[in-house]
A = this chain, B = another copy of it.
Amino acid sequence: CISQDIDHILETQSALAVDLGGTNLRVAIVSMKGKIVKKYSQSNPKTYEERIDLILKMCKEAFIDAVHLNCRVLGVGVSTGGRVNPQDGVVLHSTKLIQEWSSVDIRTPISNALHLPVWVDNDGNCAALAERKFGHGKGVENFVTIITGTGIGGGIVQHNELIHGSTFCAAELGHIMVSLDGPECMCGSRGCIEAYASGIALQREAKRLNDEDQLFTEGMALKKEEPVSAVHLINAARLGNPKADAVLRTAGTALGVGIVNILHMVNPAMVILSGVLASFYENPVRQIINQRALSSARDIQVMSSELEEPALLGAASMVLDYATRRTY
Chain B neighbourhood of A188, CB < 8 A: 292
Interface size class of A (residues with CB under 8 A): 35 or more
A250 within 8 A of B: yes
A177 within 8 A of B: yes
> Is A176 part of the contact surface with B, judged by Cβ < 8 Å?
yes
Given A163-B266, A266-B265, A296-B92, CB of A250 within 8 Å of CB of B180: yes
**A254 at interface (Cβ–Cβ under 8 A)?**
yes
- The answer to whether residues A177 and B92 also contact, given A156-B265, A265-B171, A299-B167 and a CB cut-off of 8 A, is no
Whether A245 sits at the interface, judged by CB under 8 Å, is: no
Q: Is A262 an interface residue (CB 8 A)?
A: yes
In whole angstroms, how far apart are the Cα atoms of A292 and B176 in the complex? 10
Contact with B along A135-150 (1 / 0, CB 8 A): 0000001100000000
Min CB distance, A293 to chain B, in Å? 8
Residues 158-177 of A contacting B (Cβ, < 8 Å):
158, 163-173, 175-177
Q: A93 an interface residue at 8 Å Cβ cutoff?
A: yes
* Number of identical protomers: 2
Report if A14 contacts B (CB, 8 A).
no
Cβ–Cβ contact B257 & A180, under 8 A: yes
Q: Select which of B263, B265, B296 is within 8 A of A262 by beta carbon.
A: B265
Distance of A266 Cα from B264 Cα, bound (Å): 12
Q: How far is the CB of A224 from chain B (nearest CB, A)?
A: 35
Decide: A176 near B261, CB < 8 A? Known: A142-B165, A158-B158, A167-B299.
yes
Q: Which residues of B contact A310 (CB under 8 A)?
A: none
A189 within 8 A of B: yes
> Is A294 close to B, CB under 8 A?
yes
Within 8 A of B (CB), among A209-260: 250, 253-254, 257, 260
* Chain B minimum-CB-distance residue to A266: B170
Q: Which of A189, A250, A254, A265 has the most CB of B within 10 A?
A: A265
Which residues of B lie under 8 Å from residue A294 when comparing CB positions? 169, 172, 175, 187
CB distance from A319 to the nearest CB of B (A): 24
Known: A92-B296, A173-B264, A173-B265. 18 other contacts (CB 8 A): A93-B296, A158-B158, A165-B266, A165-B267, A167-B267, A168-B296, A169-B263, A169-B297, A170-B264, A170-B265, A170-B267, A175-B294, A178-B179, A178-B180, A178-B191, A188-B292, A189-B260, A189-B292
Q: In the A-B complex, list the 9 residue pairs whose CB atoms are closest, starting with the nearest.
A: A165-B267, A166-B269, A170-B267, A172-B264, A189-B292, A169-B267, A169-B297, A169-B296, A142-B166
On A, residues with C-beta under 8 Å from B are 83, 92-93, 141-142, 156, 158, 163-173, 175-180, 187-191, 250, 253-254, 257, 260-269, 291-297, 299-300
16 contacts between A and B (CB under 8 A): A83-B296, A93-B295, A158-B158, A166-B300, A169-B264, A169-B297, A172-B297, A175-B264, A177-B178, A177-B261, A178-B180, A179-B180, A180-B257, A190-B292, A261-B261, A265-B266
